[in-house]
Structures are given as structure tokens and as C-alpha cells.
Amino acid sequence: MALDITTLNVGGIRAAMRKGMAGWLRAASPDVLCLQEVRAPAEILEPFLPDRVAHQSVSRLKGRSGVAVASLLPVARVREDLTGLEPLDTHSGRWIETDLVLPDGSELTVVSVYVHSGEAGTERQLHKLAFLHAMTKRLAELGQAERPAVICGDFNVAHREADLKNWKGNTDRSGFLPEERAILTDWFTDLGWVDVGRVLAGQREGPYTWWSWRGKAFDNDTGWRIDYQIATPDLAAKALSFRIDKPESYDSRWTDHAPFTVTYDLPGFSPA
């Protein structure tokens, strides 16, 4: 049986729903939906997801960030925020963990994360690196847990040259800096996490999940692959396929990201 998990940066749930996300959600209907940049409190988010159990981490700054996991499966436990961060980075609406209960009684940890965009040579970049290092500590812990786990979200880092179209022009920009990419490499080597999207797509350019609103980036497919699902090896081995729902045209976009869905083969699971 197959479990569909989708990660998606909506750029504001209210605007996304108004512009077309509602139709996509009805058609795609993933079993688990990880959202980033929700930018809305629970009383606004939950009516958009009436058939799902939704848990979110809301930023202390109104109208900023916000991550959520909306599931058709029961939720056993919820944990917010990362430890070891400076006060400015806590309660920032960038990390939420949920332990979901599968039909056979086993559990699966699903995380939704929104990493800072950063800016090279500024304090914003220091916050981004601190957050990525805090993620490293938490990934080490989750990797040692008994439950399989998947981290879904907007990492705001392209790991390899194949992950962005114009990599030569971005080597000094946040999102493709050597120190950021090295952290992700550590996750996939030292910690053993698996970049599920890259494994399923193979060694080719893209497939991209984000395109700038400016110029002809979308029309020319000059994008970045910054939306990830990274999984513990036991779960990654069960990944069957992936799908990126890129809109047909610039005018039909309702976010600058595209939904990224992975289908996992989990014994005992029967899709709703």
C-alpha cells in the first residue's frame, strides 16, 4: 500500500487558497501535507483543511513564517522548535515534529521545516547557519530513534550543481554557499540521511521546485531544487516514486514553489 507525503511552501495559506491551491488539494489529496510559510494562526488554517488533523508552529511575529503538518492519519505526539538556538530563532515558526500512527500501530515521525533564506555576509546568514547546525543535532537524535522519520520542507539550500540551473552565477549567494552545502553533505554521509528526491530523480539537472517570480525564470525552467524530503534509510528504501506539480503556465501559479510529493510503500497502510 502507498502513503503520499507532500511538502509545499505556500507563501501564505490565505493567498494560496484564493489563487488555486484549493483545487490542487482536492485533486492531489496527499495523505500527509507538510506546509511552510503558512503565515496564519490555527483558526485560519484549520478551516482550509477540514478532513485533516493539523498541527502547526506559529511564528511569534504576526504574518511571518509558520510551518504545519496536516495529516489524514492520527497524531500521537507533537514537538515544536529546535534546541540550542539563540532567543531570536526560537518560536519562529520554522520547525514542527509529529509522530503519526500508521494502521498497523507503528509510528512515523514527519517534520515540516522552513529554513531561513539568509543573505551572504549578514547577520541573517549567521541565523541561517545556526539553524542548520541545530538541525544537524536534531537529525542525529532522530536518526537514532526507533521510529522511521522524514524531514520535509523548504531548506533554502541547493545541495549540488544539478540542483539549480544557474549554479555558476550563484556560488557567492546564500542558498549555494560552500558552508551551507557542506552541512547537507554531512547529513547524507556522516548521519546517514537520504535525499529521497535526488535518489528517485537520478543524477540529472533538477527537477526544480522553486522559480523566481521575476523575469522568465519560470518559463525557461531556470529554477532551484530547494524543497526536500530527506529520510532515514529504512523509510527511504520504501520510496516508490515522486511527483512535482509544476503549474502549466506562469499565470496559473499560486506560489513560487511547486508541491513535491513522494509515495512510500508502507506495509499495512491503506490510503483514505
Residues annotated as part of the active site: 154
Helix (H) or strand (E) holding 200: helix 196-201
User: Which grid coordinates are listed for 199?
Assistant: 535518489
Interatomic CA distance for residues 147 and 157, integer angstroms: 26
User: Which grid coordinates are listed for 55?
Assistant: 498541527
- Phi (first) and psi of residue 47, to 5 degrees: -60, -25
Interatomic CA distance for residues 151 and 116, integer angstroms: 16
CB neighbours of 15 closer than 8 A, spacing ≥ 6?
254
The closest of 59, 60, 218, 24 to 68, measured between CA atoms, is 59
For residues 92 and 128, the answer to whether their CB atoms sit within 8 Å is no
The closest of 165, 182, 162, 200 to 5, measured between CA atoms, is 200
| Helical spans, DSSP H, in 145-195 | 178-188
